[in-house]
Structure 1
């Protein structure tokens, strides 16, 4: 019985959320211990992959970010495509809500940051930092705090976060990119187009999908573009219809096969590599610095206002719909979770304020991102727990009424 209970637990997203959280805590402990130098050295160590004439040399940190996380974004893209064609997002108005909420969740944090920066004479260049949502950590908190809430809320968060992430990546490309190599990018575009057409005309065996994804990934790295973009694009060409010979959907098959590896290997490794923030140089005196307040308030205040406000407005104007069976309180809890910027915000902060990792600006970026993300995670989890209890109490009251 105990073994069965353990296996059932390991199959839940809540379990993967716990593993992700433990990996993040382990990274924080190591980064602030005598092992910090070894940890940083390991992340910066370079490794070469060569297959025939194809060769790629990246650091461990880059292999995780551009390699393993590409698989994560592929699975996310597959799930969103399935929901658009067959599930929760097949209603255009339900698809419009998270997309518009994502837009609001980028505009409002930027406005809050610029308002704080203008009021306190802080640096204006940090406004892109609070725009991003850390999709992995937001989903982990949701999985732990909202296990009994409608699955439509998870789809809403997933869709919003991926749109938000793609928006942040586009901003990075426009504002901070040193240039993109258009030749390999043209090959990527051509291969995606050919793959999409070929997939519609005839059955494509699984090995060809794997090889195709690997080649497109390699060319994307050479182009200098984020692999998350082409991973989502590749997901869009994977067929959702069942094959005639075995009645299996290639899309659902890929989701089923990849999900355990993403949940228990890819995401924990990503958390361990990116959550190892050193607190050296952080001080309480810096807590009220304009840059710190602008980022923290942008994530905690701006995100919830932008996401929840845009979702409510879309519903009020009849151009969007609330997620199926979800209440406004539950949606507000999810809106709070969107303020968990963490790794993506830290990455944008490095680009916005280039310099030494222990510079004044970088110390303040870390403090603002950690503060805003922590407040958003705790407040979002608390609201979702309250919403879960409220839903349970209403269900019990309805049951008692029917019994009477």
Structure 2
């Protein structure tokens, strides 16, 4: 492989660059003479049949329900690791990013509701601005290299992981269709089997993955969104093995999935869900309540919610600033969290299902693009100014 290509894939910013390139490629193709082929590709039927099990979906749904379940498996693994060994392992460590994540979800939802409260159809998208794209957010932060304090990356990672967990809970509770009692019972049984295997010290990943596949099918058929199965499986994978200090099934699986998630799953999702036709688009549409609620929810709701929640928690003694950080770091970084992109698009597909909602989906995706782009630019500029004003060595020296 070409050395320059190898060097590129080793960059911390590479996943974010590939992600945005995939989205822009889809946007260009969807507004070119190739649009018909793009739509035909996404509508390609893929049929899976084993005995009485019969699953038939088009390529778009296989990406959204299948590949994204693997991405949510990675989220489950990351959350569990952070809870046991990472930034969330103690109450004092966990409270600051937890409070920040809650504020960063609640306030954007309020922003959205202010503009759309009188439109029941649009209000189905209330959770869209509550999401944060972890790959993009950390990718922009990585542009600063050693200028950025390590504790800021840890804080942002923990916040984004909690935010993703919140998104999973929202999906499970609010975006489930008519429930099948039989399929749901099988899903509960499969989940119980996974955690029983964990309790008994089963270390072989093959067993977990086989039961996880059964869980995915059961959740898919139950009416709950299939990606929830990925998180449950992630929580069931053991971090440690008794009498074995080195090997960690969780870390092994996490490291195995991570490159596939960064370089295939998320780019494929971005490509499949970003092809918005712009032939009927006008700037005036952005002033409609739905896109305005999404854009301002991401651009203003996120930083206001995170900064306000952190400020109140510090004042009340609930949490304290991470070592090496000033509040200016938190305020600047909170703007980056307005990059909703893939997670916001994913929630959009759940909030407005069916062909009759295409106009709402397209309008939402345009608003997500604009809000996320502005958040990335303004967040970068805010962090740049903060790092120039408070150099890393001086901020860390003040905290020692």
For the criterion TM > 0.5, the same-fold answer is yes
Tell me by how many angstroms 1:235 deviates.
1.4
Match of 1:110 in 2: 109
Instruction: Give the drift of 1:202.
Output: 2.9
Change (3 A) 1:235 1:119: closer
In structure 2, the partner of 1:308 is: 307
Deviates more, 1:6-15 or 1:281-290: 6-15
**Whole-Å separation in 2 of the counterparts to 1:350 and 1:292:** 15
8 A contact 1:109–1:131 mirrored in 2: yes
- Name 2:93's counterpart in structure 1: 94
Cα 1:142/1:269, change in 2 over 3 Å: farther
Q: Which residue of 2 aligns with 1:187?
A: 186
| 1:300, distance to aligned residue in structure 2 (A) | 0.9
* Cα shift at 1:283: 0.6
Q: Secondary structure at the match of 1:203?
A: coil
Distance across 2 between alignment mates of 1:76 and 1:113 = 26
Unaligned runs of 5+ in 1: 400-404
2:214 corresponds in structure 1 to 215
Rounded to whole Å, the distance in 2 between the matches of 1:388 and 1:233 is: 39
Contact 2:352/2:361, CA 8 A, preserved across alignment: yes
Displacement of 1:315: 2.6
Aligned position for 1:42 = 41
Any conservation in 2 of the 1:275–1:343 contact (CA below 8 Å)? Answer: no
CA distance in 1 between partners of 2:231 and 2:84 (Å): 15
After the TM superposition, which segments of 4 or more aligned residues of structure 1 sit over 6 Å from their partners? Answer: 396-399
Distance 1:212 1:151 in 2: 38
What's the CA shift for 1:90? 1.4
Report the Cα distance in structure 2 between the residues aligned to 1:351 and 1:259, rounded to whole angstroms: 24
Aligned to 1:341: 340
SS of equivalent to 2:177: coil
- Asked whether 1:247 is paired with 2:246, we answer yes
CA displacement, residues 129-188 of structure 1 (integer Å, 9 cap, x when unaligned): 323334444344444456753444444434433443454455455555432223222222
2:115–2:292 contact (8 Å) kept in structure 1: yes
Are 2:317 and 1:318 aligned?
A: yes
Asked whether the 8 Å contact 2:129–2:297 carries over to 1, the reply is yes
Question: Offset of 1:124 from its aligned partner?
Answer: 5.7
Pair 40,325 (structure 1): closer, same or farther in 2 beyond 3 Å: farther
1:10-54 deviations in Å (ceiling 9; x for gaps): 234322222222212211211211111211121122201234543
Mapped to 1, the partners of 2:395 and 2:81 lie a distance apart of 36
Measure, in 2, the Cα distance between the counterparts of 1:245 and 1:358. 52
SS at match of 1:301: helix
Question: Residue 203 of structure 1 contacts residue 243 of structure 1 at CA under 8 Å; is this kept in 2?
Answer: no
* Superposed displacement of residue 363, structure 1: 5.4
Closer, same or farther: CA 225–145 of 1 in aligned 2, 3 Å: farther
Larger displacement relative to structure 2 (318-327 or 281-290):
318-327
- Determine the structure 1 residue equivalent to 2:393: 395
Distance verdict in 2 for CA 1:263–1:347, change over 3 Å: closer
RMSD between aligned alpha carbons?
A: 3.3
The change in CA–CA distance for 1:242 and 1:118 in structure 2 (over 3 A counts) is closer
1:49–1:304 distance in 2 versus 1, CA, 3 Å:
same
* 8 Å CA contact retained: 1:76, 1:158: no
1:236 corresponding residue in structure 2: 235
Deviations 1:263-315 (CA, angstroms, capped at 9, x unpaired)? 21112111211222222211123233333323221221111111221122223
Q: Give the Cα separation in 2 of the matches to 1:370 and 1:57.
A: 31
Q: 1:292 to 1:140 in 2, by over 3 A?
A: same
- Tell whether the 8 Å contact from 1:289 to 1:364 is kept in structure 2 after alignment: no
Partner of 1:10: 9
SS at match of 1:89: coil
SS in 1 for 2:48: strand
Residue in 1 that maps onto 2:160: 161
Which residue of the partner structure matches residue 78 of structure 2? Answer: 79
Is 81-90 or 150-159 further displaced after alignment? 150-159
| Separation (CA, whole Å) in 1 of partners of 2:325 and 2:141 | 14
CA contact (8 A) 1:32 1:278 kept: yes
Structure 2 regions of 5+ residues with no counterpart?
none
Change beyond 3 A, Cα 1:22–1:370? closer
Distance (whole Å) between structure 1 residues aligned to residue 57 and residue 51 of structure 2: 17
> After the TM superposition, which residues 317-396 of structure 1 pair with which residues of structure 2 at under 5 Å, given as runs?
317-346=316-345, 348-349=347-348, 356=356, 359=359, 361=360, 364-390=363-389, 393=391, 395=393
Matched residue count: 394
* Contact 1:135–1:161 (CA under 8 A) maintained in structure 2: yes
Distance in 2 between the 1:146 and 1:378 partners?
A: 17
Aligned partners of 2:148 and 2:392 also within 8 Å: no
More displaced 10-residue stretch of structure 1: 176-185 or 159-168: 159-168
Task: Work out the CA distance in 1 between the residues paired with 2:124 and 2:69.
Answer: 29
